Structure 1
Amino acid sequence: MTTTSTQPARAAEWWKAQRRRVIWGTAIAVVALGVIVLVARLVRGIPAVEDFIVAYPGIVPPPEGTPVGIPWWLGWQHFLNAFFLVLLVKTGFELRGKRRPPGFWTRDNTRWPRTKRAPRRLGIWLWFHLWLDALWLLVGLTYVVLLFATGQWLRIVPTDWAVVPNAISAALQYASLEWPTEDSWIVYNALQQLAYFAVVFIAAPLALVTGLRLSSIWPVEGRLASPTGEALARAVHYPVMLFFLAFTFVHVVLVLSTGALRKLNQMYAARDADDWIGFAIFAASIVVTVVAWVLAKPPLLKRIAARSGRVQG
């Protein structure tokens, strides 16, 4: 049997293993969630714990000068971040499936500046993944610039150590299914603040650095090309993606279970209202993302890739 003929079988076995992992992971998560809720409710019955929650209700007053409300550009950021994350997950799983790419892209040196090295050949999924990375990076840089230009950074960057006990208090309240009371139009609770800070200033840079290390633009020779660095990047890049997925799942669940209409208005329409405008925008963004997922298939990708290079296969 040839190596080529065994590739589909290996890829099918890999996808079966992933499905088994998802099923077992979901079952374990449901059981763990039930245990967490039970333990949290028992712990909250302890007088000292209730006194702790009273002393630290889960919210740290924002610094003076913190802007009130969510700006319009943050609504676009919500959509674009979700859009690119979904497609990056799609292409990431295609790459981890280790199947033979349905096509290969090579830079056209008649359109791009010539270099001393021969142009690399990229599988079509890797080509698409790298383009998505570049566009997501552009979105992220725009977000960070606007975050500091408008003072919105004060909403997600902790400036008081009281955020730690308040975050613990908020976590206990969430775990016991008694949501902490906050008005996210004015201030996030401490756990939200730490989560948003981790996503923007820790997870996103890790995804960027490890993605660059694994990409085709990283030097293949010299000190930067050590196998240890590549192995470390692989060990970090995939868990970071899982963190983004877990954060997104929890974020969506909490939004939909804690006043969905108002939260969606705040997130997508920059309005502090309880009407259906934000929901309509959110629903439209889901439709656009699903359509992109369906259309992102090799025939279309190869036609797009051919505009910037040669495509074979």
Structure 2
Amino acid sequence: MSVSSKSSGITSNRWFKPVAVTVGALVVALILVLVAQWLRTLQPVQQFLTDYPGHSAIPDGTPTGFPAWLGWQHFLNMFFIVLIIRSGWQVRTTTRPAANWTRNNKGLIKTKNPPTKISLDLWFHLTLDALWVLNGIIFIVLLFATGQWLRIVPTNWDVFPNAVSAGLQYASLNWPVENGWNNYNSLQLLTYFITVFVAAPLAIITGIRMSGAWPKKAAINKFYPIELARKIHFPVMIYFVAFVIVHVTLVLATGALNNLNHMYASNNDYSWWGFGIFAASIVFTAAAWFLARPLFLRPIASLMGKVSR
């Protein structure tokens, strides 16, 4: 066997690409850490970190801590996002769906034209989207009603150099030391702001444009074609995947018990309550992931329409 044929066999192996990507990512991460640690030895960089420690002063009236509603909102958002990503990937990659669904054209939702048949995967994805949007509306209302928006909306220009400072601290593996119970570091603040007020709306408006509910002859279609929506929607999904991975990693790596208590138990101690609730939420989400298959989805979908092959 020639060298070229051996090389071709290796690169065609289904594990080659993911392994190569993983190794490449680890190498890049290692280089990033080494560069960040070297930068921190430079006097101008040290002065920059002193001037901008990584967090901005919080506005007057900013609430301290996290209310209980934010805990269950955190769980619901995690639950919906995980299943939305899964179902969205199935919609994107499945060529022959196991079942199809057609909406009942009666009741509250009734149209002149007959409903369009869609895959059961797409029905599940759209149903999750609707629940996620409803939950998001409740989240936004409570966010502004309770003043929690002050924690994730930039109010000072120094948030940007402080975000660079926090990023350098993370990259050098010398974590920022602020307590999220009182104030997020600036990189967290900007990330949460982008997630809530940029990425989520983009996911919604592009998802609606791609759905069958969007009018096919709307005047705006010339300026907002479905192809553009698709080009935006998929990268937004990738952003959410990356956000979840990085977010969970940092939560566990920067004081898991305290962070999980903030997020799930609404307290600032080091008990195991937050971890227990988090573990239960993971089990619940994993169970939903397992049950999200045609065998279990058909009976639910049939309540809202006709399920067929």
Normalising by structure 1, we get a TM-score of 0.91
Cα distance in structure 2, aligned partners of 1:310 and 1:224: 32
- The 5 A counterparts of 1:1-313 are 22-226=18-222, 229-313=225-309
- Distance in 2 (CA, whole Å) between partners of 1:223 and 1:184 is 46
1:6 alignment partner in structure 2: none
Q: CA RMSD in A?
A: 1.8
Distance 1:284 1:205 in 2: 29
TM-fit CA distance, 1:274: 0.3
Provide closer, same or farther for how the CA distance between residues 269 and 48 of structure 1 changes in structure 2, counting only shifts above 3 A.
same
Contact in 2 for aligned 1:265/1:273 (Cα 8 Å): yes
Give the distance between the partners of 2:217 and 2:134, measured in 1 at CA: 28
Q: Deviations over 1:16-71 (max 9, x none)?
A: 99976544433322121111111111111111000110111011110111000011
Output the CA distance in 1 between the equivalents of 2:108 and 2:70. 35
| Structure 2 counterpart of 1:8 | none
Q: In the TM superposition, what is the alpha-carbon distance from 1:181 to its structure 2 partner?
A: 1.0
The 3 A distance-change label for structure 1 pair 74 and 114 is closer
Bigger shift: 76-85 or 278-287? Answer: 76-85
SS in 2 for 1:310: strand
Cα deviation for residue 115 of structure 1 reads 2.0
Task: Tell me which residue corresponds to 2:9.
Answer: none
- Does the CA-based 8 Å contact 2:105-2:114 persist in structure 1? no
Moved over 3 A (4+): 16-25, 110-114, 224-228
- Displacement of 1:228 in angstroms is 6.1
Instruction: String of CA shifts for 1:148-186, please: whole Å, max 9, x gaps.
Output: 000000001010001111111111100000011101100
Distance 1:222 1:36 in 2: 48
**Post-superposition CA distance 1:216-272 (Å, at most 9, x none):** 111122324449621111111111111111111111111111111011001001011
Q: Are the counterparts in 2 of residues 218 and 225 from structure 1 also a CA contact under 8 Å?
A: no
Q: Take 1:193 and 1:199, find their aligned partners in 2: how far apart are those partners? A: 10
| Paired amino acid for 1:37 | V
Q: Residue type matched to 2:259 in 1?
A: K
How many angstroms does 1:112 deviate by? 5.0
Alpha-carbon deviation of 1:110? 4.3
Contact 2:99 2:119 in 1 (8 A): yes
Amino acid aligned to 2:24: I
Structure 1 SS opposite 2:307: strand
**Secondary structure in 2 aligned to 1:293?**
helix
Gaps of 5+ in 1: 1-15
Q: Provide the TM-score with structure 2 as the length reference.
A: 0.92
Structure 1 residues 55 and 118: CA distance shift in structure 2, 3 A:
same
- Amino acid corresponding to residue 173 of structure 1 in structure 2: Q
Given that residues 92 and 129 in structure 1 are in contact (C-alpha distance below 8 angstroms), is that contact kept between their aligned partners in structure 2? Answer: yes
Name the count of aligned residue pairs.
298
* Contact 1:108–1:309 (CA under 8 A) maintained in structure 2: yes
- Residues 128-147 of structure 1: CA deviation (Å, up to 9, x unaligned): 00000000001111111000
Deviation at 1:205, TM superposition (A): 0.5
Change in Cα spacing, 1:139 to 1:40, as seen in structure 2 (3 Å) is same
CA contact (8 A) 2:100 2:308 kept: yes
